[in-house]
């Protein structure tokens, strides 16, 4: 077990099963890698659906962002074999399914950011954007894309 997997266990976190794009008739790959750059496609916690600030609370949105981040970690682990190869979480882009007038997207996206710092420490600190949108596919609450730096392909 690697250092990051040990850290996940210490935190009581089990990564979810991998997201399979073909389950949704989607034509893309979960991670696109070039050298040491990993671009993780938008993913979500499919168990939390609805608009934050409407039928969902900020806390439920926070949990949806956390769940989406876990899906990103699952995708990176599948690509790299181990999360110990992650050198830096570089950028997070979060889309929050927001009710009209809702303006707390940064608070919701903290669900992702807080998790990344808990798991990776300083390597988990990242640039980010939190975008409110009127809807997301399948009514998911939060969709997250991630850019990370990892050990280069050998």
Instruction: Please write the tens of the pLDDT for every residue from 68-111.
Output: 999 999 999 999 999 999 999 999 999 999 999 999 999 999 99
**What's the chain's average pLDDT?**
95
Helices (H) and strands (E) in the chain, counts: 3, 5
The structural domains of the chain, ordered by start, are 34-150 (3.30.1330.40)
Q: Taking Cα atoms as reference points, which of 94, 89, 91, 69 lies closest to residue 149?
A: 89
The answer, yes or no, to whether residue 138 has pLDDT greater than 70, is: yes
Q: What is the per-residue pLDDT for 104?
A: 98
pLDDT band at 28 (very low <50, low <70, confident <90, very high): confident
Note the helical H segments in the chain. Answer: 3-10, 58-80, 105-120
pTM for this entry: 0.95
């Amino acid at each position: 077990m690697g250092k990051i997997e040990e850290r996940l266990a210490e935190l009581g976190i089990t990564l979810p099963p991998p997201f399979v794009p073909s389950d949704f008739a989607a034509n893309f790959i979960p991670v696109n890698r070039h050298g040491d750059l990993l671009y993780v496609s938008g993913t979500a916690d499919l168990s939390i659906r609805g608009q934050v600030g409407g039928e969902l609370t900020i806390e439920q949105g926070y949990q949806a962002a956390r769940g989406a981040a876990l899906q990103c970690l699952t995708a990176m682990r599948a690509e790299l074999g181990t999360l110990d190869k992650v050198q830096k979480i570089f950028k997070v882009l979060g889309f929050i399914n927001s009710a009209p007038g809702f303006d707390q997207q940064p608070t919701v996206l903290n669900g992702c950011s807080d998790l990344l710092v808990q798991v990776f420490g300083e390597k988990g600190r990242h640039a980010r954007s939190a975008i409110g949108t009127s809807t997301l596919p399948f009514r998911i609450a939060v969709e997250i894309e991630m850019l990370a730096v990892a050990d280069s392909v050998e």
